[in-house]
Amino acid sequence: AAAGRETRLCNGRAVRVEPLALTPGRFVLTDKRIYFRPFCLGRDEEELTVSLSEVFRVARRRHHLQHTAIEFASKGKGSQLFRFGTESDCSVVWKHLEAARGETSREDKEWESIAKAWNQGAISNYHYLLHLNQMAHRSFNDLAQYPIFPWIIADYASATLDLTSESSFRDLARPVGALNQDRLARLVERYHAMDPLPLPGRPGSQGASSSPG
């Protein structure tokens, strides 16, 4: 249906996902804008209107381990994450959103350009890790999938951190659980104290091919 100079492409129920709030409402996509109207308007709940011309990034996202969400970032409005009822509903919105924007999101191509920029020193480690988190479906809007960063600092006692000293940084050759020497010694001791697991087909194994006695 046409509304003024805009053509409605799809509409339906959706939930705006924020770190400490889930806001149900109606999501409407036209050929020019995105609208979201919360079912319960109040002091903290406002209607959202975003022009597609201001949207510079869109991406499929998981929510509660389901592929039912879409996140987009726009100038002036920041990042918005919306969860839809089913994966099928989400796919319909995604299809119309790509068509309205006139482009297809290709994360593989984006990854190539990000990696190249990082290798050339055009972006910082921080921004490189942010991009990796985004491509892993992590979002600042979802506490269950909040962006993560590696623990690399080892010296928390010195008043000034010496970036030229290897002792200032964590040994990335070992997992976090093996960095403490006492803990590592206990893990090694427990490992050697364990009975070896029987190999399939050997006496004492409980493989699926064993026949009842």
- CA–CA dist 41, 80 (Å, integer): 18
- CA–CA dist 14, 92 (Å, integer): 13
- CA–CA dist 82, 93 (Å, integer): 11
pLDDT score of 207: 45
Give the distance between the most distant pair of CA atoms in the chain. Answer: 80
Q: What is the mean pLDDT of the chain?
A: 85
Scanning the structure block, which residue is given the tokens 């969400």?
A: 69
Lowest pLDDT segment from 16-25, 97-106, 121-130, 135-144: 97-106
pTM value > 0.85 = no
- Region 14-23 average pLDDT: 94
Give the residue among 112, 117, 66, 73 at the shortest CA–CA distance from 91: 66
- The strand pairing partners of 59, in sequence order, are 71
59 Cβ contact list (under 8 Å, min separation 6): 70, 71, 72, 105, 107, 134, 137
Output DSSP code: residue 122. S
pLDDT score of 199: 64
pLDDT score of 172: 82
How confident is residue 123, by pLDDT bands cut at 50, 70 and 90?
Answer: very high
- Region 78-104 average pLDDT: 91
